[in-house]
Amino acid sequence: MSKQRDWLLSKKWGYAASVALVPYAILKTLWANGLAFMVSGKGIEELHASIRANADPVSKWLYANGIDTTAVLALIASLLALALVRERGRKLPRRLLLASAFLGGSFLIIICFANFYKLFAGDIRLSDAAEFDPLVLPVVYGGFFAWGITISMAALSFGVRTRELPVRSSPGRWKRWPEWARRAALGWTAIYGALGVYWSLGGSGFPFGLSNDPQAQSLLFKHAAAATGGPVIAMLCMIGVIALYLFKFRMNGVARTILLAYAWAFSTILCFLVLDARPLIIAAYAPVSLIGALFGRPVPFFDALTWPVVNQFICLAGGLLWAAAALSFQRYTSGACLYCGRRSGAGHWMASSSGVRWGRRAAYCAIIAPLYYDITRIAWLLGFPLGISDEMLRDLQETGADAIGAGLALVSIGGAFLTRGLIKPWGETFPRRFPLLAGKRVPPAMAIVPAGLVSILLIVTGIQVFAGFWAIGDFRNWGATTPLLLMPVWGVALGIATVFYYCRRQGKCERCGFLPASGIAATSGDASAL
């Protein structure tokens, strides 16, 4: 283990990365100066003509003076590698160095794999570049791949060598969410209320209604107009600002019930009733579109990211802030700890052995629910018209939708694998196959946040698909429609499994000192947080 750690933390990775792109930089500099090395004279002329015709003005000027822009970038990459191993590099911002190294290394590795795939698939042929020596390929892409691997390892080594273990006397920023959730929700509500006033006065950009969003056929507010919707938004937000201000005070009885009912209703509207299926489509298509673009099959990702869809993400963020503010107020007024929600002497059923069993059942339900969808989409990619007509399969193959569907199925399978982490030990402690992280605690938010967001989007999309299916009734192509009917089950099961995971991962509260095993708490709710 010690030798393995020394090998991973070696500075040799950085020194190797500093020279990996030197042959590439030398080659491009020679070409920029008109020297035909590993290329014919005609190839040099065509290269210079292409730069003059297509490059930006700065690159043209540099190339005319014998400086290739990519050679300069290769030099910067070499200096970045040296900064990860030399003492002067510690004077630079640590996060900037790590982010630049990891992102740059990952980008070049992906570029190499994509071009190697195109080469083997026949999309790129060496005969198309007959003016260049075949050895140019390993110099260019071999250097890219070597730099990507070595710079990533150098960044990992640098991150571990320069890591300082913080000494905390209080919970971290995100764990202190009861302290800032109300203020954040207040700011969001005030800004969105101001937008409501702006829209009611005739301002542009009203994101609701079919006249402003033709794809909003499934939304509850599809008939909304700026003249009527703007004042309603402004009024609801004004009431919300007042309610959030009153959250500062301890209340009981009817007043507390009214405030909590308004807060949870407002959160529900923003998280479930304002959204449609497009946010989930955007989230699912993001990795598929990236991989498709790299392998020559671009997916129109940004065409779907319109202002109404962006507004749905904004409303989702506001709904989550309102839910956090409502939960903190509910805990505060009930005498529970603001940070863990537990009371002195009270246990939590969800963290018990019985709760663990129910959480496991919910997780397995969330894993099994998308299998029907995955099987049909992969079958289409393999040429089997499972649940659809032969004509529809031909249409999917001609447009490339079969590959997109299979990509979404792979995303679903990856999500199912990660869902297992909610009930498996590796979801709480990093396993041995993770270098430098083996045996360390998995941050609960790493699983809770994405799983919670995906469960909301699945429930919203599933309900709308379920309602639309019975309205259309397309039973002929049942393989295209019926797998989507399980989305509500998938979303609800994933949400339940996430809640059980959250309760199980709660250890000793850093604020009240509650120990789940003993059921003893030192203090209760802290009014200063609100």
Rounded to whole angstroms, the maximal C-alpha distance in the chain is 88
Write out pLDDT tens, residues 15-56: 899 999 888 888 888 888 888 787 788 878 888 888 888 777
Average pLDDT, stretch 1-12? 64
Torsion of CA 497, 455, 335, 354, to 10 degrees: -10
Please give the Cα distance from 455 to 370 (Å, whole number). Answer: 13
- Indicate if the alpha-carbon torsion angle 245, 249, 250, 256 is positive or negative: negative
Please give the Cα distance from 246 to 437 (Å, whole number). Answer: 45
Torsion of CA 494, 496, 499, 505, to 10 degrees: -70
Write out pLDDT tens, residues 97-145: 888 888 888 888 888 877 776 767 666 666 666 677 777 777 788 888 8
Residues 6+ apart with CB under 8 A from 358: 496, 500
Write out pLDDT tens, residues 294-316: 555 666 667 778 899 999 999 99
For residue 271, pLDDT over 90 is answered with yes
Instruction: Band the pLDDT of 521: cuts 50, 70, 90.
Output: very low
Which pLDDT score is estimated for 272?
92
Most confident region among 271-285, 363-377, 514-528 by mean pLDDT: 363-377
Which pLDDT score is estimated for 350?
63
Residue 348 C-alpha from the chain's centroid: 31
Question: For residues 411 and 284, is the Cβ–Cβ distance under 8 A?
Answer: yes
Q: How far is CA 517 from CA 328, 332, 346, in A?
A: 24, 23, 11
Instruction: Band the pLDDT of 90: cuts 50, 70, 90.
Output: confident
Write out pLDDT tens, residues 443-471: 888 899 999 999 999 999 988 888 777 66
Write out pLDDT tens, residues 215-231: 888 888 888 999 999 99
For residue 515, pLDDT over 70 is answered with no
Write out pLDDT tens, residues 471-511: 665 667 888 888 888 999 999 999 999 999 988 887 666 66
Which residue from 478, 352, 479, 493 is spatially nearest to 416, judged by alpha carbons? 493
> DSSP characters for 349-414?
GGGSHHHHHHHHHHHHHHHHTTHHHHHHHHHHHTT--TTS-HHHHHHHHHHTHHHHHHHHHHHHHH
Write out pLDDT tens, residues 152-198: 888 888 887 777 544 444 556 677 888 899 999 999 999 999 999 99
Query: How high does pLDDT run on average in the chain?
Result: 83
Whole-number percent of the chain with pLDDT over 70: 83
Average pLDDT, stretch 271-285? 89
What is the Rg, in whole angstroms, of the alpha carbon atoms belonging to the chain? Answer: 28
The kind and range of the H/E element at 318 are helix 307-334
